[in-house]
Amino acid sequence: MGQHPSQGTVLAEEIHTGRFWAVIILLAATAAIISVAQHPPAAAPARLALGGAAILCLGGFAMAWAGFRYRFLSDALEIRTLGFRLRSIPKSAILSYAVEPWTFIRGYGIRGLGSRRAYVWGNEVVHIQMSNGDVYLGHNEPERVVRDLDKMMGVVSKG
C-alpha cells in the first residue's frame, strides 16, 4: 500500500515536532535512570525493567524532538521520522483533506491501527481521507499542510 519510494519531485516539506512532549518524556527517562542507579545489584529484575523503560523513553524523546517530516512530492506524500520513511501515500489514493481538532484523549505520537493512522504531537491535524483508510497529520500550522497538499494535488488556489 504505497510503501514504495516515490520518484517524484519534492514540492514542499513540513516538520511537526513535539518538543514539549519530548521534555516530558525526557523527565520520565531521567526518573527511570535515577531509579536504576538507586536499586541495589540484587534487585536485577527491577533494574532491568526500569532500564528497559528508560531506553524506550529515550527513543520516544528522540522521535518527539526530531518530529514528523512530511515530504510533498509530485506523485506522493511521504511521512518520515528519524530518517525512516514511515509511510508513502500515492497522490491517486487521496480523496479529500481538511483541518480538524485533535484531542489529548486520542493520544500523541504514532497512533492507530489498521487503515487509520495518526502522526500527531499537538491539537490540530489535517485529516486525509483515502480510498483505503484515513491518515491524520499533526502540525502547528495545519493550513500550511493543506496548502502543500493543494500544490501536490494540483488544486488552483483562489486569491
pLDDT in tens, 35-51: 888 878 788 888 888 88
Quickly tell me which residue has 508513502 as its cell: 88
Average pLDDT over residues 20-41: 88
Nearby residues of 12 by Cβ (< 8 Å), 6 or more positions away? 71, 72, 147, 148, 151, 152
Q: ∠60-63-69 over CA atoms, to 5°?
A: 155
Q: Rounded to an integer, what distance in angstroms lies between the CA atom of residue 57 and that of residue 29?
A: 5
Distance CA 156, CA 3 (A): 28
Q: What is the mean pLDDT of residues 75-90?
A: 94
Instruction: Indicate if the pLDDT at residue 4 is higher than 80.
Output: no
Write down the pTM of the prediction. 0.82
pLDDT of residue 1: 41
Please give the CATH number for the structural domain made up of 10-17+68-153.
Answer: 2.30.29
Residue 11 DSSP one-character state: E
Question: What is the percent of the chain where pLDDT is above 90?
Answer: 64
